[in-house]
C-alpha cells in the first residue's frame, strides 16, 4: 500500500473535491449544465460577503453584483485599488494563439500542470485554461490598454515554462491595468448601489453556525470598533502568505490572517510548504531593508543571466571577457535557457552564490545582462519594452541597467499553498469560498509566470459567479442567523480579548522585530532548499520564539483608535502559527517537487526528485487546537489526461 | 558598499485625529544607510519610538514599489519629495546629505481630511471613479479581444494616462486643491479608446460634476504635473475640458453618433 492510501485511510475530514463527470474537456460544461440556478429576481435576497479587492475579490464582487446579489466588499486598504495584484508587472497568460505558434487550451493546461510539477488538480487547471481566453476579451472590453502591434492587434511575449508566446501585457504594469479594470467594474457597482464597500476594515474571523458559514467579524482600522456582518456566503480573496518570510516582494500589509483564522475555524489549509521564490529580485542591500523588489520575469525574454567563472573576479561586469562568463541557465537548460521556470532558475542562482560566485558588494546576486539585446535591437526598442522597469531598478539600486547589468537574486514572491477548496472553490466549510492566491487550487507545487493574474480573474469573473449560485439556490426562503446570534457575539468577544491581550503584554519587542526574526528562521530552514534536520530545528525554534512573542511583545497606543502597531501584532501572530504548519508540511513531504526542494531528494544532476508512488496527493491540514498539533488529511491526485512524467526543461 | 547619512533632523506632523489640533514634533536620526528608502528611515524611527514606549508615527504605505499609490507625504513642501517622477516609497536616502533637516507633513487639501498623523482620507477619488470612471462591460458578453484593432499610438496614449496610481499628489501640490489631473487622466484613458466612445460624454459630465462637489477648481498652475510620480501630462486636463464643454453644448443625440 502506498503512503497516500495509508494516509487517506486516516483522514479526519471527508474531502469531496466534487470533480464533475465526463472527459477533461467536458467537465466544466457538464458542471454548468447541471448546476442549480437562482432566478434573477431571487438573487437580491442573498447577501454575499467578499473579503479582499484584488483581482479575484474585485472581479467576484463586481460580477456577483451585476448578477443581482447583494454584495458587501471589504478591504483593509483605503481604496479597493490598492490591493497587491497591482504590483504584478509582466503579464497574463491566455490560450488565444494569436501568434499562430501552436498554442491551445490543451497546451496551456499541459504547461500549467507540468509547471506545477504534477501536484495540482487536473480538472481545476483545465477549467483555468479554458476560461483564460474569456479573460482577455473581458479586460479589453473594459478598456485595459494592453500592448499592441502597429496593425492594432494585441501583442504577446513569452514567459518562463512555455515555448509559445501567450502572455498579454501592458508595459511593465499589467497587474496595475488589470486591477484598475476590475476596480472600475467594482466602482461602477458601488455607484449603482449593488456593492457596499467597507474600506479600512480588516477581516478578523469567520463565524459558523451549525457547521455552515454565517458571516464575518471585522475591525474598523480607524475607530478600532469590532463588528459582525451576516451573509449567505463568504468569499475570501485575501491573497497569499509570502510575507511569512518578512523579506519578500509582497506589499507590507499582505498577510495570512483571513485564511489563517478561517483555518482555525475548521477550513483545511493545503500544501503550505509550496512557496515560490522568484529568481529576479533586487538583492538585499542592508539590514534596514523592509521588503524586496521584483524585477519582472519578462526581462528574461531578452536579458541573459550570468556569473563570472572565477569566484574572485574583481573586474566590473562589462570588462569581464565573454570566455570568463558562465551563462549558466543557457548551459544547463539549453531548450528553455534564460526562460527556465522560476523554481529551477532560483535554485541555480542560489547554488552559484553559495559557491562564492555571487556578484555585487555583498556577493549576493547574479547578473541579468541586456548588453546583447541592446546591441541587436538598439536602446530605443529596449526602452520601449522595459523602460519603466529599468528606471525602477535605477531608483532602487542606484545603477543604470543600460550600462551595467542588473544584479538579481531570488526572493519570496508567491505562495501556491492556501485554503483547500473543491472544484467549486468552496472550502470544506459550506458557504465559505477562497479565490485567487488565497486558495491552493491551480498551480500545484510551482506557479508559472503570468499565471497568477490569470487565476485571480478566472476565479472571480468566470468561476465563482456560477458556483456560488449552486450553493445558494437551496437556501431560498430559509432564514439565516443574524449578527445577534450568540456565535457572532462569541467571536466578537474573542477578537476584543485578542487585541486587548497584545496591548496588555507590555513587553520590550515590537511586532516588526518578531516578524523579522520569524522570517529569518523560515527563510533559512524552509526557503529555497529544505532538509529534515533544518526543519526539525525550525520546529523547535519557532515555538520558543512564539512563546517570547506572547510574553515580550510591546504594542504602544490603544485599541480604540488607529493603531498600525496593533494591526501588525495580530498579523505576526498568525504568521507564527502558519510558519509552524509550513515547516510541518515541508517535513512530512519527503520528496522534492516544484518550489518544495528537499535536499535529501534530488537527482544526480541536482534536480527535484518526485515520489509519485507516495506523495501524489494534496496535504490538507486541519487545525488541531494549537499550532503544533495539526491533523493531516490527503486528497489523492489522479492524472487521467496528462501522463505523469519527470519535469524536464533541458 | 553603502555609506551612511548622519545627523538628520526630522520635523514631523503629529495629529491624533481629524478634529484634534496637530503640531510638528522634532526627531533626530543619528545614522541611516544611504541604501535605505525614505519609508525605511521612518520604520527605523518608529521602532525606536516603540522601544521608548511611545506611539509610532502613522503613515500610509504598502507596496513600496511605487505602484499602489498608498504612500503620500509632503517632504519639504513637495508632494512625494524632491525626486521627480518618484513616489515617496521609491525615494532613497542617497538623495539626502549629512545634517539635513527634513519637514514631513501629510498631503494637505480640503478634500483629504487628516485621519491621524501623516495619514489622510482620499476616498473622494473613489467617488469620482464610481460616478463614471469605467466602461460598462458586464462580465460575459465581451466580443473577441482582437475584433477591434486599436492603432498603437492611440493605445499607447491611453496607457500613458492609465498609469495614474491615484496617490493624490496632484491635489496636494495644487494651490486650489483641484483634482483635474486625476480626473483628466482617467477620462483621457477611457475616452481615447474605441471601447470608451459610447459613454464618452456621459462619463466626462458625471466625473467632472462629482469632482467639483469635493475639490477646488483648476486654474492651470501645472503644479500637479510636476508632483505626479507617473509624470502624467497636464494635456489630459485639456482633453477633460474639451470633452466636458462638448458634452455640455452639443445635443446628446448628435454626440452619440
Where does a domain end: B116, B136, B154?
B116
**Angle, helix B124-132 to helix B200-214, in steps of 10 degrees:** 160
Tell me the C-alpha distance between A403 and A370, whole Å. 9
What b-and-e string marks burial along B136-168, b requiring 16 or more CB atoms within 10 Å of the CB? bbbbeebeebbeeebebeebbbbbbbbbbbbbb
Residue among B69, B129, B131 with most chain A CBs within 10 A, to mutate? B129
The mean per-residue pLDDT over the stretch A159-170 comes to 90
CATH number at B54 reads 3.10.20.30
Give the chain B residue whose CA is nearest to the CA of A178: B162
- DSSP, collapsed to helix, strand or coil, labels residue A39 as coil
Q: Are residues A456 and A603 in the same domain?
A: no
pLDDT at A614 over 80: yes
Q: Tell me whether residues B92 and A396 touch, CB distance under 8 A.
A: yes
Q: Are A289 and B40 in contact (CB under 8 A)?
A: yes
**Residue A318 shares a structural domain with residue A351:** yes
Distance of CA A134 to the CA centre of its chain: 22
Record: contact A153-B64, CB cut-off 8 A: no
Distances, alpha carbon A308 to alpha carbons A335, A355, A369, B94, B137, in Å: 22, 12, 12, 29, 52
Tell me, what DSSP letter sits at residue B17?
S
Q: Are A572 and A511 in contact (CB under 8 A)?
A: yes
B150 and B60 assigned to the same domain: no
Residues A519 and A537 in one domain: yes
Whether residues B129 and B251 fall in one domain: yes
Vertex A67, ends A470 and A29: CA angle to 5°? 45
Of A176, A252, A513, the CB nearest to B64: A252
Tell me if A63 and B139 make a contact (CB, 8 A cut-off).
yes
State the total domains in chain A: 3
Q: Tell me how close the Cα of A185 comes to any Cα of chain B, in angstroms.
A: 6
For residue A348, give the C-alpha cell: 541555480
A387 touches chain B (CB under 8 A): no
* CA nearest to B107, candidates B121, B123, B94: B121
> Cell 526572493 maps to which residue?
A411
Distance from CA of B16 to the nearest CA of A (A): 9
Q: Same domain, yes or no, for A175 and A34?
A: yes
Say if A79 is an interface residue toward chain B (CB within 8 Å): yes
Yes or no: say if A87 and A251 are a contact pair by the CB < 8 Å rule. yes
Where a domain ends, among A475, A506, A526?
A475
Average pLDDT, chain A: 96
DSSP code for A369: E
Residue contact A251–B62, C-beta within 8 A: yes
Tens digits of residue pLDDT in A239-276 = 999 999 999 999 999 999 999 999 999 999 999 999 99
* Facing residue for B162 by CB, picked from A86, A177, A391: A177
Tell me the three-class secondary structure of A302-363, residue by residue. CCEEEEECCCCCCCCHHHCCHHHEECHHHHHCCCCHHHCCHHHHHHHHHHHHHCCCCECCCC
Q: Is residue A80 part of a domain?
A: yes
| Contact between chains at B133 and A293 (C-beta distance less than 8 A) | no
Rounded Cα gap, residues B186 and B203, in angstroms: 10
Q: Exposed, middle or buried by CB within 10 Å (0-12, 13-18, 19+), for A135?
A: buried
A391-396 own/partner pairs: CB under 8 Å, 24+ apart: A391/B85, A392/A172, A392/A293, A392/A295, A392/B65, A392/B66, A392/B90, A393/A282, A393/A295, A395/B66, A395/B83, A395/B86, A395/B90, A395/B92, A396/A282, A396/A293, A396/B37, A396/B90, A396/B92
**What's the domain range around A208?**
24-277+414-475
Last residue of a domain, one of A412, A431, A447: A412
Q: A26-32: which pairs have CB atoms within 8 A and are 24 or more residues apart?
A: A27/A123, A27/A126, A27/A127, A28/A126, A28/A127, A28/A130, A28/A131, A31/A423, A31/A466, A32/A466
Domain shared by B97 and B129, yes or no: no
CA–CA dist A633, B2 (Å, integer): 49
Instruction: Say how many C-beta atoms besides its own lie within 10 A of residue A287's C-beta.
Output: 10
Of B99, B116, B133, the domain-final residue: B116
CB contact under 8 A, A142 and B143: no
> What is the pLDDT confidence band of residue B9, given thresholds at 50, 70 and 90?
very high
Whether A146 and A255 map to the same domain: the answer is yes
Residue A301: give its domain's CATH number.
3.90.700.10
Closest-CA residue in chain A for B32?
Answer: A288
Interchain contact B69–A (C-beta under 8 A) = yes
How many residues can be counted in chain B?
257
The reply to whether A288 touches chain B by the CB within 8 Å rule is yes
Q: Check CB contact under 8 Å for A294 and B47.
A: no
Residues A269 and A284 in one domain: no
Among B68, B88, B116, identify where a domain stops. B116
Taking contacts as CB-CB distances below 8 angstroms, the residues of chain B near A253 are 62
Strands B78-79 and B23-33: unpaired
Which three three-digit cell numbers place residue A604?
544526480
Q: Which of A67, A97, A189, A290 to mutate to test the interface with B (most CBs of B within 10 A)?
A: A290
Cβ(A111)–Cβ(A162) below 8 Å = yes
Partners of A74 in the β-ladder: A51, A198
If you measure CA to CA, which chain A residue comes closest to B15?
A562
pLDDT for position A154: 98
> Is B110 in the same domain as B197?
no
The residue of A90, A141, A175 whose CB has the most chain B CBs within 10 angstroms, and thus the best one to mutate to test that interface, is A141
Q: How confident is the model at residue A285 (pLDDT cuts 50, 70, 90)?
A: confident
CB-based contact B143 A183, cutoff 8 Å: no
User: How far is residue A509's CA from residue A549's CA, in Å, rounded to a whole number?
Assistant: 8
The pLDDT of residue B88: 98
Min CA distance, B109 vs chain A (Å)? 17
Residue A64 lies in a domain: yes
Residues B96, B143 within the same domain:
no
- Per residue in A506-561, pLDDT (tens digit) is 999 999 999 999 999 999 999 999 999 999 999 999 999 999 999 999 999 999 99
Whether B152 sits inside 8 A of A154 (CB atoms) is: no
Mark out the alpha helices in B139-256 (DSSP H runs). Answer: 152-162, 169-173, 180-192, 200-214, 223-227, 235-249, 252-255
Query: Chain A contacts of B146, Cβ < 8 Å?
Result: 96, 98, 153-154
What pLDDT was estimated at residue B173?
98
Q: What is the DSSP letter of B89?
A: G
Which pLDDT score, from 0 to 100, does residue B253 have? 66
For residue A143, which residues of chain B lie inside 8 Å, CB to CB?
Answer: 134-135, 137, 158, 189-190, 193, 195-196
pLDDT band at B256 (very low <50, low <70, confident <90, very high): low
Residue A42 counted as domain residue: yes
Nearest to A422 by CA among A13, A5, A22: A13
Rg (CA), chain B: 21
B64 and B164 both lie in a single domain = no
- Determine, yes or no, domain membership for A626: no
Strand-pairing partners, residue A412, are: A248, A277
Same domain, B180 and B241: yes
Percent of chain A at pLDDT above 70?
100
Q: B117 to chain A, minimum CA–CA distance in Å?
A: 10
- Give me the mean pLDDT over the A196-203 stretch: 98
Q: What is the pLDDT of residue B2?
A: 66
Closest CA of chain B from A477, distance in Å: 27
Cross-chain Cβ contact B115/A152 below 8 Å: no
Is the same domain home to B42 and B150?
Answer: no
Chain A interface includes B200 (CB < 8 A) = no
Q: Report the CATH number that the domain containing residue A593 is assigned in CATH.
A: 1.20.58.100
What gap in Å lies between CA A548 and CA A551, rounded to an integer? 5
| Angstrom distance (rounded) from CA A346 to CA A278 | 7
Q: Does B155 touch chain A (CB under 8 A)?
A: yes
SS (H, E, C) A235-302: EECCCCCHHHHCCECCCCCCCCHHHHHHHHCCCCEECCCCEEEEEEECCCCCCCCCCCCECCHHHHHC
Using the Cβ of A9 and the Cβ atoms of chain B, whether some distance falls under 8 Å is answered with: no
Band the pLDDT of A296: cuts 50, 70, 90: confident
The CA distance from A584 to A595, in Å, is 16
Q: How far is B152 from chain A (nearest CA, A)?
A: 5
Whole-angstrom Cα distance, residue A508 to residue A555?
9
Q: Are residues A146 and A46 in the same domain?
A: yes
Residues A542 and A597 placed together within one structural domain of the fold: yes
> Which of A451, A475, A499 is the endpoint of a domain?
A475
> A66 vs B139: CB contact, 8 Å cut-off?
yes
Query: CA-to-CA distance for A616 and A188, rounded, in angstroms?
Result: 44
Both B130 and B242 in one domain: the answer is yes
Instruction: At A607, list the grid cell.
Output: 534536480
Which 253-282 residues of chain A touch chain B by CB within 8 A?
253
- Local confidence band at A384 (pLDDT 50, 70, 90 cut-offs): confident
Which pLDDT value is given to residue B255?
A: 60
Q: What is the pLDDT of residues B224-234, one digit of tens each?
A: 999 999 999 99
Residue of B36, B61, B68 with shortest CB distance to A288: B36
Q: Residues A116, A243: one domain?
A: yes
To the nearest whole Å, the CA of B57 is away from the closest chain A CA by: 9
Pair (B128, B251) in one structural domain: yes
Which chain A residue lies closest to B122 (C-alpha atoms)? A78
Within this chain, do residues B128 and B234 fall inside the same structural domain, yes or no?
yes
Residues 6+ apart with CB under 8 A from A140: A146, A154, B142, B145, B195
CA distance B219 to chain A (A): 28
Measured between CB atoms, which of B40, B62, B130 is closest to A82?
B62
Q: Which of A180, A554, A563 sits opposite B162 (nearest CB)?
A: A180
Cα–Cα dist A32/B24, whole Å:
61
One domain, residues A207 and A87? yes
Contacts of A173 in chain B (CB under 8 A): 67, 163
CA distance B68 to chain A (A): 5
In the numeric block, which cell numbers belong to residue A127?
A: 477549467
Confidence at A172, pLDDT banded by 50, 70, 90:
confident
Would residue A481 count as lying in a domain?
A: no
Q: Is residue A384 part of a domain?
A: yes
Q: Are residues A386 and A447 in the same domain?
A: no
CATH number of the domain within which B230 lies: 1.10.1060.10
Q: ipTM of the assembly?
A: 0.97
Partner B contacted by A624 (CB < 8 A): no
Q: Which residues in chain B (93-122) have CB-CB distances under 8 A to chain A?
A: 94, 115-116, 119, 121-122
Write the pLDDT tens digit of every residue in B139-182.
Answer: 998 999 999 999 999 999 999 999 999 999 999 999 999 999 99
A137/B122 touch (CB, cutoff 8 Å), yes or no: no
Which residue's entry shows cell 547574479?
Answer: A366
Q: List pLDDT tens digits, range B72-114.
A: 999 999 999 999 999 999 999 999 999 999 999 999 999 999 9
Arithmetic mean of pLDDT over chain B:
95
Confidence of residue B254 (pLDDT cuts 50, 70, 90): low
Domain of residue B36: give its range.
Answer: 4-116
Q: By mean pLDDT, which of A141-145, A350-354, B186-190 is the weakest? A: A350-354
CB-CB: which of B32, B63, B123 is closest to A78?
B123
Please tell me the predicted confidence (pLDDT) of residue A514: 98
Interface of B with A in 217-246 (CB under 8 A): none
> Total domain count for chain B?
2
Contact yes or no for B123/B182 (Cβ under 8 A): no
- The reply to whether A295 falls in a domain is yes
Q: Is B150 on the interface with A (CB under 8 A)?
A: yes
Same domain flag for B64 and B15: yes
In a domain, A357, yes or no: yes
Mean pLDDT for the stretch of residues A11-37? 97
Give the list of residues 6+ apart from residue A530 with CB closer than 8 angstroms, or none. A273, A586, A596, A597, A598, A599
Alpha helix segments (H runs only) across A86-216: 105-115, 122-141, 174-192
| B65 touches A: beta carbon within 8 Å | yes
Based on the fold, state whether residues A254 and A288 are members of the same structural domain.
no
Amino acid at each position: 500500500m502506498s503512503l497516500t492510501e495509508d494516509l487517506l485511510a486516516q483522514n479526519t475530514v471527508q474531502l469531496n473535491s466534487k470533480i464533475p463527470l465526463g472527459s477533461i474537456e467536458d467537465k466544466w460544461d457538464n458542471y454548468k449544465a447541471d448546476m442549480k440556478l437562482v432566478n434573477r429576481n431571487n438573487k437580491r435576497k442573498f447577501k454575499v460577503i467578499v473579503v479582499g479587492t484584488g483581482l479575484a475579490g474585485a472581479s467576484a464582487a463586481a460580477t456577483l453584483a451585476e448578477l443581482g446579489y447583494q454584495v458587501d466588499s471589504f478591504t483593509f486598504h483605503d481604496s479597493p485599488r490598492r490591493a497587491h495584484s497591482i504590483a504584478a508587472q509582466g503579464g497574463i497568460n491566455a490560450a488565444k494563439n494569436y501568434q499562430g505558434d501552436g498554442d491551445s487550451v490543451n497546451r496551456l493546461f499541459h504547461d500549467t500542470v507540468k509547471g506545477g510539477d504534477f501536484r495540482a488538480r487536473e480538472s481545476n487547471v483545465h477549467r483555468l485554461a479554458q476560461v483564460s481566453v474569456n479573460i482577455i476579451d473581458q479586460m479589453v472590453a473594459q478598456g485595459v490598454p494592453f500592448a499592441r502591434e502597429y496593425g492594432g492587434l494585441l501583442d504577446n511575449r513569452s514567459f518562463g515554462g512555455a515555448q509559445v508566446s501567450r502572455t498579454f501585457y501592458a508595459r511593465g504594469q499589467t497587474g496595475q491595468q488589470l486591477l484598475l479594470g476590475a476596480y472600475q467594474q467594482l466602482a461602477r457597482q458601488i455607484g449603482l448601489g449593488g456593492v457596499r464597500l467597507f474600506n479600512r476594515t480588516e477581516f478578523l474571523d469567520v463565524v459558523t453556525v451549525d457547521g455552515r458559514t454565517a458571516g464575518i467579524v471585522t475591525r474598523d482600522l480607524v475607530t478600532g470598533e469590532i463588528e459582525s456582518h451576516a451573509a449567505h456566503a463568504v468569499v475570501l480573496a485575501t491573497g497569499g502568505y509570502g510575507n511569512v518570510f518578512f523579506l519578500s516582494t509582497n506589499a507590507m500589509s499582505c498577510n495570512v490572517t483571513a485564511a489563517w483564522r478561517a483555518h482555525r475555524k475548521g477550513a483545511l489549509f493545503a500544501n503550505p510548504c509550496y512557496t515560490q521564490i522568484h529568481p529576479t529580485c533586487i538583492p538585499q542591500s542592508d539590514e534596514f531593508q523592509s521588503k524586496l523588489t521584483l524585477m519582472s520575469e519578462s526581462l528574461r525574454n531578452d536579458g541573459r543571466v550570468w556569473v563570472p567563472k572565477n569566484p574572485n573576479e574583481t573586474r566590473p561586469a562589462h570588462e569581464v571577457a565573454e570566455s570568463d562568463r558562465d551563462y549558466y541557465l543557457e548551459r544547463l537548460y539549453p531548450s528553455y535557457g534564460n526562460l527556465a521556470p522560476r523554481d529551477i532558475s532560483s535554485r541555480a542562482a542560489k547554488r552559484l552564490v553559495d559557491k562564492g560566485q555571487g556578484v555585487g558588494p555583498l556577493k549576493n546576486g547574479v547578473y541579468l545582462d541586456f548588453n546583447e539585446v541592446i546591441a541587436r535591437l538598439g536602446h530605443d526598442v529596449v526602452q520601449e519594452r522595459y523602460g519603466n522597469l529599468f528606471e525602477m531598478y535605477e531608483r532602487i539600486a542606484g545603477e543604470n541597467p543600460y550600462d551595467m547589468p542588473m544584479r538579481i537574486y531570488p526572493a519570496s514572491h508567491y505562495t501556491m499553498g492556501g485554503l483547500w477548496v473543491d472544484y467549486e472553490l468552496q472550502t470544506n466549510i459550506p458557504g465559505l469560498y477562497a479565490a485567487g492566491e488565497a486558495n491552493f487550487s491551480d498551480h500545484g507545487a510551482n506557479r508559472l509566470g503570468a499565471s497568477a493574474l490569470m487565476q485571480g480573474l478566472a476565479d472571480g469573473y468566470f468561476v465563482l459567479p456560477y458556483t456560488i449560485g449552486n450553493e445558494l439556490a437551496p437556501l431560498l426562503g430559509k432564514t439565516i442567523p443574524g449578527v445577534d446570534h450568540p456565535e457572532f457575539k462569541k467571536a466578537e468577544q474573542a477578537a476584543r480579548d485578542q487585541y486587548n491581550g497584545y496591548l496588555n503584554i507590555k513587553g520590550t519587542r515590537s511586532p516588526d522585530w518578531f516578524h523579522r526574526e520569524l522570517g529569518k528562521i523560515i527563510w533559512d530552514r524552509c526557503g529555497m532548499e529544505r532538509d529534515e534536520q533544518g526543519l526539525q530545528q525550525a520546529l523547535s525554534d519557532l515555538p520558543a520564539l512564539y512563546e517570547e512573542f506572547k510574553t515580550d511583545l510591546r504594542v504602544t497606543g490603544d485599541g480604540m483608535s488607529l493603531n498600525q502597531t496593533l494591526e501588525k501584532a495580530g498579523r505576526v501572530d498568525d504568521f507564527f502559527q502558519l510558519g509552524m504548519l509550513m515547516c510541518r508540511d515541508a517535513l512530512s513531504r519527503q520528496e522534492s517537487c516544484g518550489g518544495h526542494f528537499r535536499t535529501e531528494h534530488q537527482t544526480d544532476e541536482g534536480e527535484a526528485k518526485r515520489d509519485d508512488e507516495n506523495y501524489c496527493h494534496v496535504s490538507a491540514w486541519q487545525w488541531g487546537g494549537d499550532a503544533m498539533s495539526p491533523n493531516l488529511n490527503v486528497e489523492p491526485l489522479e492524472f487521467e489526461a496528462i501522463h505523469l512524467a519527470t519535469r524536464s526543461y533541458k | 558598499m553603502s555609506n551612511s547619512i548622519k545627523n538628520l533632523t526630522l520635523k514631523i506632523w503629529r495629529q491624533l485625529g481629524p478634529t484634534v489640533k496637530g503640531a510638528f514634533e522634532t526627531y533626530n536620526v543619528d545614522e541611516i544607510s544611504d541604501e535605505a528608502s525614505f519609508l525605511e528611515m521612518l520604520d527605523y524611527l518608529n521602532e525606536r519610538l516603540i522601544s521608548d514606549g511611545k506611539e509610532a508615527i502613522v503613515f500610509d504605505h504598502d507596496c513600496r514599489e511605487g505602484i499602489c499609490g498608498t504612500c503620500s507625504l509632503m517632504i519639504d513642501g513637495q508632494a512625494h519629495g524632491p525626486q521627480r517622477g518618484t513616489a515617496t516609497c521609491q525615494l532613497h536616502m542617497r538623495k539626502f546629505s549629512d545634517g539635513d533637516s527634513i519637514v514631513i507633513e501629510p498631503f494637505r487639501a480640503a478634500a483629504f481630511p487628516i485621519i491621524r498623523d501623516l495619514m489622510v482620507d482620499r476616498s473622494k477619488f473613489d467617488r469620482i471613479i464610481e460616478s463614471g470612471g469605467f466602461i460598462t462591460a458586464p462580465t460575459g458578453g465581451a466580443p473577441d479581444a482582437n475584433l477591434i484593432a486599436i492603432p498603437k499610438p492611440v493605445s499607447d496614449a491611453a496607457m500613458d494616462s492609465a498609469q495614474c496610481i491615484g496617490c493624490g499628489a496632484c491635489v496636494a501640490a495644487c494651490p486650489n486643491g483641484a483634482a483635474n489631473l486625476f480626473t483628466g487622466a482617467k477620462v483621457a484613458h477611457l475616452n481615447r479608446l474605441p471601447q470608451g466612445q459610447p459613454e464618452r460624454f456621459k462619463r466626462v459630465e458625471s466625473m467632472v460634476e462629482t469632482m467639483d462637489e469635493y475639490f477646488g477648481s483648476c486654474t492651470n498652475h501645472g503644479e500637479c504635473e510636476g508632483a505626479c510620480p507617473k509624470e502624467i501630462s497636464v494635456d489630459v486636463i485639456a482633453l477633460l475640458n474639451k470633452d466636458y464643454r462638448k458634452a455640455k453644448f452639443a445635443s446628446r443625440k448628435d454626440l452619440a453618433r
